Structure 1
């Protein structure tokens, strides 16, 4: 496992590094592999969400495990309760990434390694399909990304969960199982419990195939982003309505999506985008008004350009 840890370019990482360590099997395998590859230069980061009674046990296990193996550990407790209308998983994820980035920066780490693996990637693709996602969703999880000013990496995406657990068991390493992972109130857990076994029965070894589809989607999205950059240079920022009207509707949709993502870090729904493009097409007179709710803000017309107003 230690030799594997360099796949995907991670051997070029500048130490020290940090590993998001939940005390579960996946993050335990990653932490040990990183510790073997960069002895004395790895910090484990444990986020206590406070959402279940077992959270205290996770933290206790993390402290004991890191002490046993001589690995530095940082722990941060967060308030991960979700707001009305917000997904509990999304709220916990946002709180976790914020805490991980903060702890990694405090530790002087160059990056945070995450333990998501091939099974997680397959589940992410299936979840995106079930929601009718576009290319960004179908691209699933990137191997490398930046958030809150910190670089994150997922070096285990090519390895199935069974391989990680098998390695831990054969070496006698302890880990904890999160009871919430079997709670089928959560969509991802239902996919794991119901859909994944059905896919495995019908299409043995399907995980690499879904990963390949995700890679194709990611490549296509990168090309669309490049095209959006070219078009945005032509239509301006914010987009000029007359210049938008010279593009095909598909390119209008692509450049507006790109603009909204860069302007406000949001994505319009398919219905909202269709309505906005209809209004852009109909905007042929000086007095034509555009006013459309997008996510929690509004896209309006100001002079000859589109304008996004964030929520107050």
Structure 2
């Protein structure tokens, strides 16, 4: 009886990873799902001598042990060094569960890279793809986000002294699953991905199929819009840095008043970010009104902004965090 040979796994099975070819030793964020499994396989078959993996065990569901087991078995088969980080990703009252898990995950990634492999691994590859990028953009639109939100996920970013790379932001998720199936590879399915109580899951399950019927090329066109937003945000950031040099840090009120309202808003948002504070649109608008009205020595400014206050101190503004 003839035996069907196991499909040979080669880099050709997967989308291009040219964006990573310049890296030295790097790690793959491995959840065990289809996307990260495909990324690890693609990287390991191309650069077996410099690929590592980090799996974060969130401890939020009983299936988590199965995710870890899959990752351990896969890394053993590929001879890829693996670090498993266990975290407490429970969210605080009023905090988004998704955001709490994301914050815990990024801290765990940084801790893993700083504590293992003699500190030689400072880059990490993430498996987010075109569908993830569209979901992120739609979430930002639903929240009335500005350019930073509409820019969605960058292909390259730094956080906690780790450089993150997303080489597949232009690749549809189905392409990755097709590549895994063609190579007879398995992955684990996170049951929470089917829970439509989470907005991202509802977008994925209910909204994207409808959008695809009307706009078949939406992944490419939406990604192009996100790229335009990212470029515009870069220009605004450069302008904010130049304006902050002009108005000073802390900002001088009279110097601020010489700028247009749009530039005041831009530079104040940048200044607050440097002070680890983030203003809502309403808070920033209230601050602009007060800056405009500040024409006498006795005019006070004392506004709640983000998790702190912005107050007038003589000729300048100061930010006080709680």
TM-score (norm 2): 0.93
Alignment correspondent of 2:231 = 219
CA separation in 1, counterparts of 2:49 and 2:187? 21
Secondary structure at the counterpart of residue 12 of structure 1: coil
Which residue does the alignment assign to 1:262?
274
Length, aligned pairs only = 308
- Preserved contact between residue 21 and residue 45 of structure 1 (Cα < 8 Å): yes
1:262 Cα deviation from its structure 2 partner: 1.7
Structure 1 length-normalised TM: 0.96
**Displacement of 1:252 after TM fit?**
0.2
Q: Which of 101, 125, 140 in structure 1 is aligned with 2:110?
A: 101
Q: Deviations over 1:146-189 (max 9, x none)?
A: 00111111111111100000000000111001011111111111
CA distance in structure 2 between the partners assigned to 1:244 and 1:37 by the alignment: 53
Aligned equivalent of 1:281: 292
C-alpha distance in 2 between matches for 1:285 and 1:121: 48
**1:90 corresponds to 2:107:** no
Look up the match of 1:168. Answer: 180
Contact 2:125 2:165 in 1 (8 A): yes
Cα RMSD (Å):
1.2
- Residue matched to 2:33: 24
- Moved >4 Å (runs of 4+): none
1:13 and 2:23 are equivalent in the alignment: yes
CA contact (8 A) 2:43 2:51 kept: yes
> CA–CA distance in 1 between the matches of 2:211 and 2:170?
18
What does residue 70 of structure 1 align with? 79
- Deviation at residue 280 of structure 1 after TM alignment: 0.6
Cα deviation for residue 61 of structure 1 reads: 1.2
Matched, 1:154 2:150: no
Indicate whether 1:307 and 2:301 are aligned. Answer: no
Stretches of structure 2 that go unaligned for 5 or more consecutive residues are 1-9
How many Å apart are 1:5 and its aligned residue? 4.1
The Cα shift of 1:212 comes to 0.0
CA-to-partner distance for each residue in 1:240-274, whole Å, 9 max, x for gaps?
1110001000000000011111221x431111110
Rounded Cα–Cα distance in structure 2 between residues aligned with 1:224 and 1:290: 26
Q: How far off is 1:225 after superposition? A: 0.6
Task: Please tell me whether Structure 1 or Structure 2 has the larger radius of gyration of its CA atoms.
Answer: 2
Unaligned runs of 5+ in 1: none
**Please, which of 306, 314, 318 is the counterpart of residue 295 of structure 1?**
306
Matched residue of 2:21: which SS? helix
Distance in 1 between residues matched to 2:147 and 2:82, nearest whole Å: 37
Q: 1:135 aligns with which of 122, 147, 151?
A: 147
Tell me, yes or no, if the aligned pair for 2:122 and 2:161 is still in contact at 8 Å.
no
